[in-house]
Every structure is written in C-alpha cells, then in structure tokens.
A and B are shown apart, each in its own frame.
Chain A
Amino acid sequence: MNSRLRKVHKYSWLLLLIIIPLIMFFSMKNLMIFESTNKTDINLNFSRNIPDRDFENDLIKVAFYPKNIEIILKTTLKNPSSTIYTVDDNNKKQKVIGQLTTAGIYFFDINDIPKNIALYDDIKDVLITKTNF
C-alpha cells in the first residue's frame, strides 16, 4: 500500500467511528434490551398509520391499503401450508395472494382491495383464519 491508500483507510475508519455508533444509538434507543426477547406478538404495529380498512384477531392483524395488503402474523404457524386467498361472501376461495410462514410482517401487492381474505392450510384443507368485514 502507498501512503495515499493508507490515508484513505485511516479516514474511512475515522468516518465509520462516527457513523456506526450513531446508527447503533438511534436504532437501539427505543428498544427494551433487557426486558423483551421476542416481539413477534400483538405489539407489532402497521407500517403506515391510516389503512383503508384493518382487522385483528388472535392470530393476525391485517391492513388494506389501495395497492397493498399488510399482514402481521403474530405467532409462527404450525400448519405445513398456509396460503392467503381473497374470498367472496360465501368464504369461497377466489385468488391466491401469497403465503405466510413465520411470525412477522408481510406485504403483498394487490390490484383491488378484496372484501375479505382467508388463510387456508391447503394440505389439510382447513381454514386457519379469515378477516370479517
């Protein structure tokens, strides 16, 4: 390495010395580090404040936006398969939206806001849960 590269190294790390602690501080300042170990529960909030419609039960929180559906799965599902469908008034499956697996936040793009959605285990052929609007 020549002296110019050594200087680039030095100033890169001096910059990181400032930037990385700032990232760490601001990302941790609201975390309850020693109290919470798993936030995959009811405390998760929607990413946007005002959905067109929203729904919540013991398993899911659902927000409909004009072009997306945001689903918060509160706990990891034990079902071998879990597919989200739009459903009609008679709970009949219409269109596949996507799949859920582990607890967390999922986003799916949609063209039209469905009346309701349902989560089906297609292997066992059972309804896991659905929205009720």
Chain B
Amino acid sequence: MGLDYQLVLWNKHKKTYDKIIVISMLLYIALFAVVTVIFNSETSIETLVIRAFGSLAIVMLHIILVIGPLSRLSSKFLPILYNRRHLGVSMFIAALTHGGFSIFQFHALGDVNPFYSLFTSNMDYNSLTNFPFQVLGFFALLILFTIASTSHDFFLKNLSPILWKRLHMLVYLAYALIIAHVFLGAFQQETSPFTIGFLLIGFVVIISLHIITAFKEGKIDSVKAERDTEGWLKVCEINEIEEDRAKIFTVNNERIAVFKYEGKLSAVHNVCKHQGGPLGEGKIIDGCITCPWHGYQYLPHNGQSPPPFTEKVATYELKLTESIVYINPAAFEEGTEVEPVII
C-alpha cells in the first residue's frame, strides 16, 4: 500500500523475487545459446536472439497464466501472485526483444517501411502452412504492451479496478494469438516433437487449472443459505471461524467475509478495492483485515482503510443466536461503521 505513486514500490520480498526473475532469464538465454551453438552451429546471432527470447517469453507466459488459478487452489502460491506484475513486465520485455529483432531481420532490410512490409509481404490468409503468422505475433505484442504499460497502481486507480482487470484479461487473447503465431509460424518451418509437446502439455495444464478453479469458485457462488424468520441468512457455527480469520459467505452472488477477532465478529464485502483480491482469505494483522494479494488493509468494523488511506468496502450487520452466526444480506454503504457482535 502506498500513498503516492512510485515507479516501483520496492520491498525486501520484491527485490528477492526480481533477482530470481532476472537470474532465471539470463540463465535461460545462456543455456539456449549453448544448446544452439552445439546442435545448430550455423545459426546466426539474430536468429539465436529471436528464438531465445521468443521461447523465453512463451515459457514465462505459461508460468504467469498458472499463477492465478494455483493461488486460488492453494495459498502457498500467494507470494508468487504478489510479484506477478514484475514477471509480466519482464515477459513483455522478452517478447519485445523477440518481436523487435524479428521485424528488423525479416522486414527492415528492404526499402519499405518495416511495419508496412509486416502486413503486406505475405497476404496468404487462406493457407495454413504459409499463413501470415507474424501479424498474429504483432497483435499479441500490442496486447502485451498495453498490459505491461498499465501494470501500475496509477492506472489501476484511474481506470477503475473492474476496467483494469478486464483490460488485463486480454492476456488470454494474447495467449491464443501466440499459440497460433507459433503453430502457424515456427512449427511450419521447423517441426520438433519436443517444442510441440511442450506447448501441448502447457495448454493442457493451463486450461485444466483455470477450468477446475472456475467450477470450484462457481460452486461457492451458487450456495443457497438458510433464512431465519426475520430474513437473516445463516452463515455458520461460531467455532467454524478461526481466530483472526474469516468465513466467506455468498449473498446474491456477492461474497462477504465474516471475521472473528479479539472476541468480536464483523463482516465486510470480500473484494479488495486494489485488485479485487479475496479479503476473506487474508487475516487480521495489527487489528486490520489484510488482503492476501498485495497487503491492502481495512478496519473490520467500518471497512475503511486506516488513515491516511482512503479505500473503503461495504459492511454488513451480523447477529449471534446461541452459537450460530447470522447476516443481514442488505449491504451498508462502503465504509459504514457497524457495531461488532460481541462473542
């Protein structure tokens, strides 16, 4: 959490992850170069760069696409999710290097504009074996540029979290374009069971994780709660909620986090104002609900970020009858103070 916008909000963890990213990328490039020199020594330096950075970007994109569902399935992956933005920007740099060298090598050596050449040198859209695959890569790169250049809290705040998230979901379209770019391009020229196998397995892993997660989350959203005579909804037994943790409960397709802390109960809307993280999967730290994704904090009794921060989430009224927790499904305005239920 930061009050003003800085290019990067560095902390010890981010520095460690960034070092891991940079070292891994350099190791990959070095290993790729050594293998190429050993097995295909006639490869020119431009081709080596194009292939090394292109394959690196694809490997990184696969990692990025599995982080989201993995962190939904297991909280062990949350620290990686915390640093996913930097991985995304690094992946864009690798993809840009690939794209830049490709445009230079294949389109900048003639006497026409390289971008004009990119779109007009091959117009054979009816052919699968000679499809203008570079155009697909170009559009994927444009999407990655848009995402990388808006990967900052300034744009998140000014575009609104919903629009920002939708914009960043274009990475799925970029993934499809990149798969088509590789299968209709590189694989038509050099067909290797190893590289094709990698992308096939990668696709199966990515799609399986996303669909398993989607159905698991859908099941949570569709749970119907019991109502008491006053229209309050039964949440759970009090002892089902761990101390300083929450029970997530769904009301009219919206998730609510019911927190137990210091002998009290409070309920807030489950969606963090920062990037839509699940507040109910976080915990109470220093008296504040702390989002598991990026550490944004809210006070449990009024859903407000502690001053000087200004983020607010909706709050809900609770009651405790014997040992059963009930919730009033009507949300209060964001940031409304609600007296916690004393246990």
Contacts and interface: CB of A to CB of B under 8 A. Distances in A.
Interface of A: 1-10, 12-14, 16-17, 19-21, 23-24, 26-28, 30-34, 36-40, 45, 47-48, 68, 75-76, 78, 96-99, 101-102, 104-109
Contact of A8 (B46, B169, B192): B169
Interface stretch (B5-13, B26-34, B177-185): B177-185
A40 B42 CA distance: 13
Nearest to B120: A109
B276 A1 contact: yes
A33 B43 contact: no
Given A9-B169, A14-B211, A26-B128, A39 B221 contact: no
Given A101-B44, A109-B111, A20 B179 contact: yes
Interface of B: 42-44, 46-47, 105-106, 109-112, 117, 120-122, 124, 127-131, 162, 165-166, 169, 172, 175-176, 179-180, 183-184, 187-193, 196, 199-200, 203, 207, 210-211, 214-215, 217-218, 221, 253-255, 271, 276, 278
A102 B43 contact: yes
A19 B176 CA distance: 8
25 contacts: A2-B255, A2-B271, A3-B221, A3-B254, A6-B214, A6-B218, A10-B215, A10-B218, A13-B211, A16-B172, A21-B203, A27-B180, A28-B183, A28-B187, A33-B193, A37-B190, A37-B191, A39-B189, A39-B190, A47-B122, A47-B127, A75-B42, A96-B111, A101-B46, A109-B111
Given A1-B276, A101-B44, A24 B254 contact: no
Main secondary structure of the interface of B (DSSP, over half): helix
A33 B176 contact: no
A24 B130 contact: no
B124 A16 contact: no
A106 B106 contact: yes
Contact of A107 (B122, B175, B191, B254): B122
Given A9-B169, A38-B190, A17 B106 contact: no
B180 A23 contact: yes
A109 B112 contact: yes
Contacts of B221: 3, 6
A96 B112 CA distance: 12
Given A19-B176, A23-B176, A47-B124, A104 B189 contact: yes
Contact of A97 (B111, B172, B179): B111
Contact of B203 (A20, A31, A40, A48): A20
Contact of A27 (B44, B109, B187, B190): B187
Contact of B110 (A27, A102, A109): A109
A105 to B, nearest CB: 8
A20 B62 CA distance: 14
B311 to A, nearest CB: 16
Contacts of B189: 39-40, 104
Nearest to A100: B109
Contact of B172 (A13, A27, A108): A13
A9 B329 CA distance: 26
A5 B117 contact: no
B187 A31 contact: yes
